Structure 1
């Protein structure tokens, strides 16, 4: 998940990724459980067998059913990068040197960041990472985010980028003798990359994100997940650590996750955490239960999701041509 550019990162990208990447179960579940999503076992849709519980050594590579209706991490990152490139060209047309450090490395590092967050969907799941960093996230290379924050731009540049005056009104005054496009350079870039049906497609992605979030929240209170947490907790007690579930371990107030590195105690707990997840198959149980809730959601929204898949296919088809067209920096001013 790309780190946001303050005030200018595309709202569409933020919404699209909102239901996809989570640091831990608590990070996603906490704001969702207040919505009234009930627990209890899921109702498996007619004609759909229960999901077979895998026994994975990591969550990396596991694909939940609703993932099929979203762009891949690479496609998301490529689309974001292309929007930045078109913004850059547009801004140059008004005499502004915008995002001078942007390069296609943005795509790879953004995908790597996304995978790290997704690997923690049920808490940490990578043994080697736990032994090296405990619960700490990896340091983010500077190329994982746009190298220029909007808040650092002079007001004239911000106006052209957003198409809005400081008071929020639409910018109607020409700049450098040229009219500013609707939505500024950001609006122009989103239309260039995502087409005229971008808003319609985004509504579909919003639906998928909501269904994913609801399925995740419901799976948290499913008795099968609760039972897996109990087995994990018992395993941890056997190693000398008292936590009710993996979220409690990562949320231990002794850990300063914003520090440069983990303490010995944090690494010891994190490595025990992974060992107990593998012993109790907590990862596999969590995945299977969440997948059942997602399958039920898919069965309940066949027409809407078919439309989402159509938009996704069209977007996927457009990306190679857009990369050929826009994957280069504009000429220097």
Structure 2
């Protein structure tokens, strides 16, 4: 069964960097310690974040955020795609049985970089260590979709995903064509370009001299607290932590709490964020027309999604 494609933005039209069940892959960057992947295009939505939107001090807003898809954008787009697919399948004379893959209420707008440089929220690490916060609602949706994938009829599956013949992308392909209406063909290349630039600014800012000095201060702070990790990546990526498992051992929580405290006292978080902010601001200034194209494509897709959800057809 091909349920994985239903969980996120299609690989063809809107390649994602993260998906709930790894359905589609794409460019992005991932920090150790359960950091979020960073994509220029939508990822598969899991609904509202269980911990809510991070406080402003932890959001770590960056210039590229204005050109990326935040959780609310993805939620809106996925609901529009689901609506179009359901309509398409029923127009073919078939029952549409696929469970909805989004929460009923959309998450707050705004891009979240709170784990871009590793864990930073003392409240979250006190409960989850380096694990991503639990998402019970998202887990339930994934389970429903998995059950559905095991029993969906061949006719419905073929209608949704296509029958495998060349040119037949199924109802999802048709939905993506509607969402993409009015978007220039170069937009996909520009989004891939943005994802690569976002990865590059993260890595380049990590080599900034002040960031390097702050990382040394972080290490010394951790050593004084009894933790022998050379940098935050090593702490979050410690082989003792099974970040794919449910258990969060006490040692992981203690390490993550010390990690956050030392990021604050060393100034690492502030230094790294400031260095990357400067790099991204310069990048936007140098390539303003390209960034404008990315913003226009995102706005067009979101506008089309809103039209679909209003029961109309994008022009």
Higher RCO, 1 or 2 (CA under 8 Å, sep at least 6)?
1
Residues 13 and 80, structure 1, Cα contact 8 Å, conserved in 2:
no
1:141 counterpart residue number:
136
Cα deviation code 1:20-73 (max 9, x no counterpart): 6745389799xxxxxxxxxxxxxxxxxxxxxxxxxx987632221111222333
Q: How does 1:117-132 map to 2 (within 5 A)?
A: 118-132=113-127
1:81 to 79, 87, 90: 79
> How far, CA to CA, are the matches of 1:142 and 1:72 in structure 2?
19
1:208 to 194, 203, 215: 194
Residues 33 and 119, structure 2, Cα contact 8 Å, conserved in 1:
no
Structure 1 counterpart SS, 2:311: helix
TM-score by length of 2: 0.76
**Larger-Rg structure:** 1
Residues 19 and 212, structure 1, Cα contact 8 Å, conserved in 2:
no
Residues 34 and 130, structure 2, Cα contact 8 Å, conserved in 1:
no
2:32 counterpart residue number:
24
> How far, CA to CA, are the matches of 2:86 and 2:55 in structure 1?
42
2:16 counterpart residue number:
15
> How far, CA to CA, are the matches of 1:233 and 1:313 in structure 2?
43
Q: Which runs of 5+ in 1 are unaligned?
A: 30-55, 172-182, 327-333
Q: From the superposition, tell whether residues 319 and 162 of structure 1 become closer, same or farther in structure 2 (CA, over 3 Å).
A: closer
Residues 163 and 184, structure 1, Cα contact 8 Å, conserved in 2:
yes
Q: From the superposition, tell whether residues 25 and 258 of structure 1 become closer, same or farther in structure 2 (CA, over 3 Å).
A: closer
1:91 counterpart residue number:
89
2:224 counterpart residue number:
238
Q: From the superposition, tell whether residues 143 and 86 of structure 1 become closer, same or farther in structure 2 (CA, over 3 Å).
A: farther
Q: CA deviation at 1:224?
A: 2.6
Q: How does 1:286-297 map to 2 (within 5 A)?
A: 286-297=272-283
> How far, CA to CA, are the matches of 1:213 and 1:6 in structure 2?
26
Q: CA deviation at 1:278?
A: 0.9
Residues 24 and 121, structure 1, Cα contact 8 Å, conserved in 2:
no
Q: From the superposition, tell whether residues 273 and 279 of structure 1 become closer, same or farther in structure 2 (CA, over 3 Å).
A: same
How many corresponding residue pairs? 280
Residues 57 and 125, structure 1, Cα contact 8 Å, conserved in 2:
no
Q: Cα RMSD between the aligned structures?
A: 3.3
Q: From the superposition, tell whether residues 190 and 69 of structure 1 become closer, same or farther in structure 2 (CA, over 3 Å).
A: same
